[in-house]
Structure 1
Amino acid sequence: MIKNELLQTQKESLHEILKQDTALYQIIQTVSNMAIPELYVGAGCIVQSVWNRLYGMPIGYGISDVDIVYFDEELSEEKELDTSKEIAEAIGHSTYSLDIINEARVHLWYEERFGFPIQAYTSSEEAIYTWPTTATAIAVSLDEKGQLQVLSPYGLDDVFEGIIRPNKKMITEEIYDQKVAKWIKKWPELKVVPW
């Protein structure tokens, strides 16, 4: 029971933190109202917003882009480009660049980009489960009542405690170390769990 109460408190805190970044929250609101399957805003922009609050950094500090994922079984590159354009147009001008990915297509280009093949995902949720760290394996959307829906397969403790822990489902030690090095420069207080 205490664990559930803590998780609920963490979700409420996360919602308040995200609301403070009006540019990011506008993106979350916009995509949550779109009729695109399994559409989420996730990864670095979410956890880094929490880190900024934890370590007294300005809103938006260190956020390189906003990851938007969805799952469409129509696998043509043309359809993905059309959907990306639709999402970008709905969002309009933003201070953040957007990284929009159809998780159903990732297996088609992953090996060329990262050097090894992966199985096709069956959902956005499955993809998020493999994201590189337990803290960055997180995605959000708003329900029809404006309540924050959080998909965080490893919980929110690492997010709120500033812990970087590898999620070895898919990444390599080299990729993990690169991400850690980049983040530590911006948020030196982070606690890193070695590979």
Structure 2
Amino acid sequence: MLSRLPVDEQLARFCALLSRNEVLLEVVSRAAALALPGWYLTSGCLFQTVWNVLAGREPGEGIRDYDLFYFDATDLSWAAEDVVIKAAENAFAGIGAEVEVRNEARVHLWYERKFGLPCPPHTCTEDAIDSFLATTCCLGLRVEPDGRWRVYAPHGFADVFNFVVRPNPVLGSRAAYAAKTVRWQQEWPRLTVLPWPG
């Protein structure tokens, strides 16, 4: 059982599973070339790749998009973020997948308008990853300048390896959690979805 391996071996297995997704590898490579401050490829494309490989499916099956977060608090305007988004559109052209790029320093400016809940300002990209609806989603991957993979996984890998979705009621709502988990269970029926706390 992967979740019973020592933590360093779990990390190695996690990276090996991600390496099976060729689109993900290309996104990470091109993202590294963009050199965005504090960037991570995050969330769904990571844990869903693991689920796919462990379930014997194509590594990229069912993955809707690849979320690329960065953190730049020097200019919180939409215009500055849009410049980065347009540069990313060029960088990821022809990749065969949608890559969504967002400056996590700006999230608090629009989150409540979109989701109906206030979001305190993030202080770094890791802050944003920590606020995902499920602890299973709290993952980030980037390539360091020396070529090493840096993985951020504040809740470890056990739930990902065991197909468990555990709520993370830091930000978000029961309804949003339910909507995401219903879709995930349709795509990966063996998931165990733990209930949102009362």
TM-score bin, normalised by smaller chain:
over 0.9
In structure 2, the partner of 1:136 is 137
Rounded to whole Å, the distance in 1 between the matches of 2:10 and 2:86 is 33
In the alignment, structure 1 residue 30 sits paired with structure 2 residue 38: no
Which position in structure 1 is the counterpart of 2:60?
A: 60
Matched-pair contact (CA < 8 Å) for 2:43–2:138: yes
Q: CA deviation at 1:7?
A: 2.0
CA RMSD of aligned residues (A): 1.6
Kindly state the Cα deviation for residue 91 of structure 1 after the two structures are TM-superposed. 2.6
What's the CA shift string for 1:41-89, capped at 9, x where partnerless? 0100000000001211112111000000000111010110101122232
Distance in 1 between the 2:36 and 2:145 partners?
14
Instruction: Give me the TM-score of the superposition, normalised by structure 1.
Output: 0.93
Aligned to 2:185: 184
Contact 1:32 1:40 (8 Å CA) reproduced: no
Runs of 4+ in 1 over 4 A off after TM superposition: none
Q: Secondary structure at the match of 2:53?
A: helix
- Aligned mates of 2:135, 2:117 — CA distance in 1: 21
Where in structure 2 are the equivalents of 1:37-186 lying within 5 Å? 37-73=37-73, 74-186=75-187
Q: TM-score, normalised by structure 2?
A: 0.92
In the alignment, residue 17 of structure 1 is paired with which amino acid?
A: L
Q: Aligned partners of 1:153, 1:169: CA distance in 2, in Å?
A: 14
Q: Which amino acid aligns with 1:173?
A: R
Task: Give the number of equivalent residue pairs.
Answer: 193
**Are 1:138 and 1:153, in contact at CA under 8 Å, matched by a contact in 2?**
yes
Structure 1, unmatched stretches of 5+, are: none
